[in-house]
Structure 1
Amino acid sequence: MPTPVSAAIDRARAHAPFLALLLDREPVLAERLAAGMFDLAYTAATPDMPIARQLRLDRRALALAIAIGDLAGVYDLTAVTQGLSDFADRALDRAITAAIAERTPGEAPRGFAAIALGKQGSRELNYSSDIDPILIFDPRTLPRRAREEPEEAAVRIAKRVVELLQARDGDGYVLRVDLRLRPSPEATPIALPVDGAIGYYESQALTWERAAFIRARAAAGDRALGGYFLDAIRPFVWRRGLDFGAIGEIRDLSRRIRDHYASGQAFGAGYDLKRGRGGIREAEFFAQIHQLIHGGRDPALRAPATRDALARLAEAGWIGTDEAAALSRSYTLLRTIEHRVQMIDDRQTHVLPGGAALDGVARLHGLADGAALIALLREPVARAGQIYDALDDGRGGDFPHEPQALAARLEQAGFPDGAGAATLIARWRAGRYPALRSPAARDALEAVLPALMPAFADAPDPSAALRRLDGLLERLTSAINILRLLEARPGLAVLLATILSHAAPLADALGVRPELIDWLIDPGAFEPLGPVEALAAEMRRGEGGDYQALLDHVRRSVGEKRFALGAQVVAGAADPLDAAAGYARLAEAAIAVLAEATIAEFARSHGRVPGSELLILAFGRLGGAALTHASDLDLVYLFTGDFRAESDGAKPLGATLYYNRLAQRITAALSVATAAGPLYPVDTRLRPSGTQGPLVVSLESFARYQREDAWTWEHMALTRARPVFGSAEARAAAAAVIDAVLAGERPARDLTGEAVAMRAEMARHKPPTGPLDAKLLPGGLVDLEFTVHLTQLRHRTGFDPHLGRAIGALVASGLLPATLAVANDQLTRLLVVLRLVAPDAAEPSPATQALIARALRLADWPAVLEALAMTRQDVAAAWTQATGGSDG
């Protein structure tokens, strides 16, 4: 009658090709095993062999000895898993020692350690398991070559360790090595400086990482270093108190395990022994959940091995003794069958095969067939699943976690690429971003997904909008308040989706400064901006006496309010004309605050010019108090007083040089990006003589140039000029000069001929950017402005920087048709909206078309196109009429 050992060897040869191969390749060991001589230290390796071959031969011998001992009943599950784990420790330690010795001969293997996690950490490795170490090093003690940085040396050592263990050759391999359990594996090197790793676990680590460290152990290398690391992070793993949010997250983790591996849940052929309902992982996680909850106060519960942990939890009364016994029995049986599945071909698999292959697994175990194996497993698996079910408090989110189910749900909601959207949501749920690492943040995320996803599904490009949201979440430092707000106010979720879907400039601003979304929470976010004085006063409050801090504060303040104005337009909460006026007041306030501060800063070195001051004129859309989100600032700098004067500071300068340097500083203050980002592009080409002239001239020189030398296009630009910085007296003096020039103190010119030539030249060099270019299309805003300014200059009346008021005066005088007032409002509204939702002036998607129509107070997109066509006809007719008259 065969002995248990000989029967085990016969079953191995018949049903496990990998074991049969080992029995043939290790004849000496096979004879010893057949004789009942089990020695896990046996090896065919010799000391003169390369370390890589030694390790592979050692592994081969150990695999065969443990497998036959397991099949014969010589080793129980504890002996099997501890034998495999002890070998992994030794192999990892020898690989580290060899890797250091190869690079720095004679040096002791210090300053580099492997922290075993998972089943290696708890000494429960399976027959064909990965090991999941975290590799750490001490930059102060790690041996390294001359002129080599510690980080570089550590990574090279780590790569050699992995190669020694994982690379396959004719002798097979030693261990599969998975380094992805280290912090942020997509961004960190494979070996981490010990203090940096400690800092991560103290401040950023996730709940699943806490669970992983229940089983952590200094397994190889410099164990003193490993012990130092584990001692330092012990408070992170074992916390004396646990809030409800953390418990909720632990339960959520348990749900995600099941949802993620739904395909292996059904019991029978194809059942996943590890991840299926009632499987190995559920017993492990059942124990770990209770350890995390109670182990902070009771060190006796901190047992790394699953069955030990279950027993201690039962002894302490935290789980029932029957639950502990049932889970322990199920765990033991499933681990044993898992080993059978893996022995067959040395494959890292946990799935019961089907058909004849299932019969083979059963017979390897000593059963008649696959049906007998299924019958053996059925009751323990069902009981373990019932126990595990009790962990879920029923608070599952409204969106599934399993990838296929989630993708299907998202496609049902309207996402064309449900799988892509599901991948992003899985990333958020996994806490990949700092803002989503806390249990409270992910709880808030689950609560808001049912409202947020349908809003994004209605976007013109849902995938692009969702990617923008992903970028926003990646940059946020905290997401809890925003997510809770979106949950409480579904309309805000729709607005966020609208912004990210339709308004690229606003979405880009959010990507750079995610805190801008906080502005939408403010009760005044959808109120019109206040007057310039109030805006400037608010900006000044951030000064604190520090010039650089003020530059940053003004940029943040302008960014917030500019974002809010854009959001108002996109949401249909503000007339684009009102938004345009708000944009202009905001810019004027920024000019006032930054010019004041720059003047004061400049005066510290150079003093001030007695009897003189800087004056800033606004031209173009700023002069007309109607900016868009993307407008630049057309500025002209002047100074009053005697150009021959000199400043009175420690470093005196002549007035002209003084003000030119000062204006350069102000331009930089308004335009150069700081840590808080950019502010406005500044264009100073409308100054006397353009780019050929000095940046700043005296008011007297400016007046003389305008009266004697300026061209018609410069006088047309002057119709929109107004002082935006300077004392009341200086502003009045500049306004008097402008009024006098426009009223007739200028050279007689062929106004109509020059205007027509200028417009033709502009059309050649600046054609429309797209079919909706409200500015440059024939009959667009440029033609309207040319019509108005030509009429003003010719008739010397109707002057007002504000284009709408100027048109009103000219219409009242009978000089322009009333249709031009409507055209101006309509084109300006369209320009403001398009700068936000279609900056390229191309025809947008149908969803964005509907948004534009709402913003323009029109019924639909055909109505928008019709209104644009009629407006352009009206403007073209007015331009034709204006250019058909004679010069006056």
Structure 2
Amino acid sequence: MSGANATQVRSALERALAHAPYLRRLAGREPDVAAALEQGDCTRALDLCGFSDASGDPVASRLRREKRRLALALAVGDLAGALTLEEVTGHLSRFADRALDRAIEAAIRERTPDAEPRGFVALALGKHGSGELNYSSDIDPILLFDPATLPRRASEEPVEAAVRIARRVVEIMQGTGDGYVFRIDLRLRPSPEATPLAIPVSAAISYYESSALPWERAAFIRARSAAGDIALGQEFLSAIRPFVWRRSLDFGALGEIRALTRRIRNHYEAGQRFGPGYDLKRGRGGIREVEFFAQIHQLIHGGRDPSLRAPATLDALAALGAAGLVGADDVAALSEAYRLYRTVEHRLQMVEDQQTHSLPRDSAALDNVARLDAREDGAALLDALRPHVERVGALYDSLDPPEDGALPREDEPLELALAAAGFTDAGTAAQRIAGWRGGGIRALRSPAAQQALEAVLPPLVAALGRAPDPATALNRFDAMLSRLPSAINLFRLLEARPQLAHLVGDVLSLAPTLAEMLGRRPELIDGLIDASALASPPDVGTLTRRFAGAGGEDYQALLDRVRRDVNELRFAEGVQIVSAVSDPLEVAAGYSRIAEGALVALTDATVAEFERAHGRIPGGELLILALGRFGGAALTHASDLDLVYLFTGDHLAESDGPKPLGATQYFNRLAQRVTAALSVPTAAGPLYEVDTRLRPSGTQGLLAVSLDSFARYQREGAWTWEHMALARARPVYGSGEARTALQSIIDGTLGRERDEASLLADAVKMRGDMARHKPPAGPLDVKLMDGGLVDLEFVIHVTQLVHRTGFDPRLRVAIGRLCEAGLLPDTLRPAYELLARLLVTLRLISPDAQEPSPAARDALVRARGVPDWPALLAALDAARQSVRQAWGAIVAQAGNLAGEA
């Protein structure tokens, strides 16, 4: 309660008695509350409002008296500033809960006196559900019951008993003998024209899962279990949560909400124009538009971010601001407007306890409301409201811009429109669109699909026309449509979020790999609507927890979900490259964190599944070692995972489960399961290719070997190239103790003394063999080309092994250490960064390493940050020359040492 003093309370009481006949009547009927207010004591006045079980009066009479007392105390406290808006609406909402609860209990006990009142619940919706009740508001509950637990009389059907209880609740709450408690509106229940007043819970769940209308989703943002059998109501709300908060949003629902606003504006046209008669609730820029502004954003983002599911409008706006989805200035403006609107709305209702939201048209009546609010006159009240109405109206209009003109259907006007949009071959593009309109694609044959197509065509054509390669974008979009069973939701999404259409244009123009992913799973676009979509992925621990989920799903469901989540994140990473918003080196690190999080989550689940059948090996555990680009934490979109499976403990031990296995067989089977979990396509699509050929003895060896065997192999049997590969090894799975032991083996292997001549000779021969058997795939194969990344990797690893220093699985760090030690020229640092950035980008833009299109060249130029394509080629030549010189020096040194021998 705020700190208004007694003088302010008494002044507010005087205004109430002078300008609000309803409050004047209440003061006459409740003299003890009025006396407390005359003394300036709001706290005492509220204390006098409690429900009395000792009076002996019927429950309806006691509730009505409590309502009268509360209405008077809250009104004066509100007028005095002793109570905030939230305190006023909170008191009213809590009273509504108590009243409904007592009414339900009374209705049940009147019929079945000895029964426990359960099995019947009132769900609060609207402002009651969010704790924001108006001063003179109706309440809009949905009444549900459980036939199995609802008390009823002998030979009475559950539905019959529930309906009689519901009628009695309504009678207690709004009978007019000596006033009313709350007016009840039950029309928000499912199909009110055909359903009873109270509905079985199972029937309600079935309705919301299959038949509910889009606006009902918005209504349930503010739903809660308010009275009666609270647990029953909470179970129901949990059951329908997926209906309200959808991870993959149906943007048609948003269109319904916007259409509802337009219908409200049209229906209440007289209250739209600001001035006397303006409807604070339904008018343009009024209460409803603040609420819908928040709810639209909640429906878009709340399925993915539970922190946005705040029922109360002010709380929802604050959450949207904290999440960065609505600007701080807009949050402040909407919140300030909402507080003012609700305050003035309360003043309107205090005058005669009418559920009105419109400013009086009569000037004297408007002046009266203004003076109740301690303003000079009606003009001053309008001046206070006007800037807020204009600002809110403009903000809401920005969510619902005027509809663009439809794309022409006639050939010549259509071609002119397409040429203006950026299509150089407008005739071919027009034929493609005419085919869509003619239903040539299965997904576009229904009337609903054609309607959705026409709505999205203007912004879609604009976005594709602005794409780097409009013709390619259009062709790939057509191929994507041809694979869809239905295109309606995709069209609605792109219509609702035009900026996504621009991103799709970039992806379809520039990145065939991403375009193929999008063609298989158009819902990947959903992942780009979050504010975090173009941000770097979180740390491995956070990703692991996300992929692991909250538990409760079976193993196959986990595999499917992880594939969806990983591919959504990988798609977003690729979009960051295509749209040039992130450094490709940071994206490569992000790809690696995603892969490691998925590996840990899936391996944990696979181990748990395996242990249920075979138990555990006492003292043994699975270890996974990452090599190659995964070990170096620098994956591309196309990278596979180079893995080595190891295990600790006694290789002669046996597992302790229902189907025991020896340790070697146990861990080899487990490794096969982990590989399958990471690589086998499921209904949700593929995940990663896994390459295990770098294990000891290669494909001829066991899939999983003991840690002791691995150490012995590295000491006695490994080839030079295997030790070079070990320079980028990184433990990614296993306990901390086991990882430390494995890292110790790696460090000891890399740090041992070597015969330099043999090492250099082996490396030179190996690189020559690779060049003969695996030549560059194209002119831009920056990995395999002469002076490319493979040559640079050989330079780094040979230098590390010769000098036994500079080891780090991350090549960027390793180069830095070797350059700082004077063992490599500084020119190799920028050479590596250029080659690595190009590799990551080209894997998406030109996966075949061929000369890219002019549009793709521009994307490569943006990714590298150079002025133009010739400058990029010049930088690439300089980098290759630096690498060639470094590798040439090693080749020459190898020759010298061989000659000396």
When normalised by structure 1's length, the TM-score is 0.54
Q: 2:583 aligns with which of 562, 575, 578?
A: 575
SS of corresponding position for 2:732: strand
Q: Which residue number in structure 1 is paired with residue 744 of structure 2? A: 736
SS of corresponding position for 1:638: strand
1:456 corresponds to 2:490: no
Q: Are residues 422 and 543 of structure 1, via their aligned partners in 2, closer, same or farther at CA, if it must alter by over 3 Å?
A: farther
- Does the 8 Å contact 2:570/2:637 carry over to 1? yes
- Does the 8 Å contact 1:476/1:515 carry over to 2? no
- Does the 8 Å contact 1:542/1:553 carry over to 2? no
Larger Rg: 1
Q: Which residue number in structure 1 is paired with residue 848 of structure 2? A: 840
- Alignment partners' CA distance in 2, 1:543 and 1:862: 54
Q: 1:431 deviation in Å?
A: 5.9
1:503 corresponds to 2:511: yes
- Alignment partners' CA distance in 2, 1:672 and 1:561: 19
Q: 2:768 aligns with which of 746, 760, 766?
A: 760
Q: 1:450 deviation in Å?
A: 3.0
Q: 2:817 aligns with which of 782, 797, 809?
A: 809
1:699 corresponds to 2:704: no
Q: Which residue number in structure 2 is paired with residue 710 of structure 1? A: 718
Alignment length (residue pairs): 503
Q: Deviations over 1:485-534 (max 9, x none)?
A: 54465443222111011100000000111110111112210110000110
Q: Which residue number in structure 2 is paired with residue 519 of structure 1? A: 527
Q: Deviations over 1:259-285 (max 9, x none)?
A: xxxxxxxxxxxxxxxxxxxxxxxxxxx
- Does the 8 Å contact 1:460/1:845 carry over to 2? no
- Does the 8 Å contact 1:399/1:450 carry over to 2? yes
Q: Are residues 802 and 883 of structure 1, via their aligned partners in 2, closer, same or farther at CA, if it must alter by over 3 Å?
A: same
SS of corresponding position for 2:654: coil
Q: Are residues 395 and 785 of structure 1, via their aligned partners in 2, closer, same or farther at CA, if it must alter by over 3 Å?
A: closer
**AA aligned opposite 2:407:** F
- Alignment partners' CA distance in 1, 2:798 and 2:635: 22
- Does the 8 Å contact 1:837/1:848 carry over to 2? yes
**AA aligned opposite 1:794:** V
Q: 1:480 deviation in Å?
A: 5.6
Q: 2:476 aligns with which of 457, 468, 471?
A: 468
Q: 1:494 aligns with which of 497, 502, 513?
A: 502
- Does the 8 Å contact 1:544/1:550 carry over to 2? no
Q: 1:404 deviation in Å?
A: 4.2
Q: Which residue number in structure 2 is paired with residue 530 of structure 1? A: 538
Q: 1:474 deviation in Å?
A: 4.4
- Does the 8 Å contact 2:467/2:502 carry over to 1? no
Q: 1:794 aligns with which of 797, 802, 805?
A: 802
Q: Deviations over 1:525-562 (max 9, x none)?
A: 01100001101111111653301111111110110000
**AA aligned opposite 1:619:** L
Q: 1:588 aligns with which of 589, 596, 602?
A: 596
The aligned runs of 1:90-105 (5 Å cut-off) are none
Q: 1:778 aligns with which of 771, 780, 786?
A: 786
The aligned runs of 1:237-256 (5 Å cut-off) are none
- Alignment partners' CA distance in 2, 1:632 and 1:880: 30
Q: Deviations over 1:667-724 (max 9, x none)?
A: 1111111111111111001001111111111000000000111111000000000100
1:667 corresponds to 2:672: no
- Alignment partners' CA distance in 1, 2:536 and 2:444: 34
**AA aligned opposite 1:457:** G
- Does the 8 Å contact 2:500/2:525 carry over to 1? no
Q: 1:663 deviation in Å?
A: 0.6
Q: 1:409 deviation in Å?
A: 3.0
**AA aligned opposite 1:781:** L
- Alignment partners' CA distance in 2, 1:749 and 1:639: 35
Q: Are residues 862 and 434 of structure 1, via their aligned partners in 2, closer, same or farther at CA, if it must alter by over 3 Å?
A: same
SS of corresponding position for 1:814: coil
**AA aligned opposite 2:519:** G
- Alignment partners' CA distance in 2, 1:834 and 1:559: 19
- Does the 8 Å contact 2:490/2:522 carry over to 1? no
- Alignment partners' CA distance in 1, 2:629 and 2:833: 14
- Alignment partners' CA distance in 1, 2:258 and 2:876: 58
- Does the 8 Å contact 2:414/2:430 carry over to 1? yes
Q: Which residue number in structure 1 is paired with residue 620 of structure 2? A: 612
SS of corresponding position for 2:724: helix
- Alignment partners' CA distance in 1, 2:488 and 2:532: 22
Q: Which residue number in structure 1 is paired with residue 568 of structure 2? A: 560
Q: 1:482 deviation in Å?
A: 4.8
Q: Which residue number in structure 2 is paired with residue 884 of structure 1? A: 892
- Does the 8 Å contact 2:404/2:458 carry over to 1? no
**AA aligned opposite 2:814:** A
Q: Are residues 651 and 620 of structure 1, via their aligned partners in 2, closer, same or farther at CA, if it must alter by over 3 Å?
A: same
Q: Deviations over 1:407-443 (max 9, x none)?
A: 3432454434434422332344456667657777655
- Does the 8 Å contact 1:591/1:670 carry over to 2? yes
Q: Which residue number in structure 2 is paired with residue 870 of structure 1? A: 878
- Alignment partners' CA distance in 2, 1:707 and 1:842: 42
Q: Are residues 633 and 862 of structure 1, via their aligned partners in 2, closer, same or farther at CA, if it must alter by over 3 Å?
A: same
Q: 1:654 aligns with which of 656, 659, 662?
A: 662
Identical aligned residues as a percent: 61
Q: Are residues 784 and 598 of structure 1, via their aligned partners in 2, closer, same or farther at CA, if it must alter by over 3 Å?
A: same
- Alignment partners' CA distance in 2, 1:879 and 1:403: 61
- Does the 8 Å contact 1:245/1:439 carry over to 2? no
- Does the 8 Å contact 1:614/1:637 carry over to 2? yes
Q: 1:765 deviation in Å?
A: 0.6
- Does the 8 Å contact 2:459/2:495 carry over to 1? yes
Q: Are residues 614 and 748 of structure 1, via their aligned partners in 2, closer, same or farther at CA, if it must alter by over 3 Å?
A: farther
Q: 1:604 deviation in Å?
A: 1.4
Q: 1:463 deviation in Å?
A: 3.5
SS of corresponding position for 1:750: helix
Q: 2:727 aligns with which of 719, 735, 760?
A: 719
Larger deviation, residues 643-652 vs 485-494: 485-494
**AA aligned opposite 1:796:** R
Q: Note the residue ranges of structure 1 that are not aligned, 5 or more in a row.
A: 1-201, 204-241, 249-393
- Does the 8 Å contact 1:543/1:550 carry over to 2? no
SS of corresponding position for 1:884: helix
- Does the 8 Å contact 2:548/2:602 carry over to 1? no
**AA aligned opposite 1:830:** L
- Alignment partners' CA distance in 1, 2:753 and 2:496: 63
Q: Note the residue ranges of structure 2 that are not aligned, 5 or more in a row.
A: 1-209, 212-255, 263-401
- Does the 8 Å contact 2:468/2:506 carry over to 1? no
When normalised by structure 2's length, the TM-score is 0.53
- Does the 8 Å contact 1:609/1:645 carry over to 2? yes
- Does the 8 Å contact 2:490/2:523 carry over to 1? no
Q: Are residues 243 and 461 of structure 1, via their aligned partners in 2, closer, same or farther at CA, if it must alter by over 3 Å?
A: closer
The aligned runs of 1:119-268 (5 Å cut-off) are none
- Alignment partners' CA distance in 2, 1:488 and 1:852: 30
**AA aligned opposite 1:843:** E
- Does the 8 Å contact 1:245/1:440 carry over to 2? no
Q: 1:877 deviation in Å?
A: 1.0
Q: 1:395 deviation in Å?
A: 7.8
- Alignment partners' CA distance in 2, 1:621 and 1:787: 16
- Alignment partners' CA distance in 2, 1:857 and 1:846: 16
Q: Deviations over 1:347-367 (max 9, x none)?
A: xxxxxxxxxxxxxxxxxxxxx
The aligned runs of 1:84-483 (5 Å cut-off) are 397-429=405-437, 442=450, 445-459=453-467, 461-476=469-484, 482-483=490-491
- Alignment partners' CA distance in 1, 2:655 and 2:603: 18
SS of corresponding position for 1:507: helix
**AA aligned opposite 2:804:** R
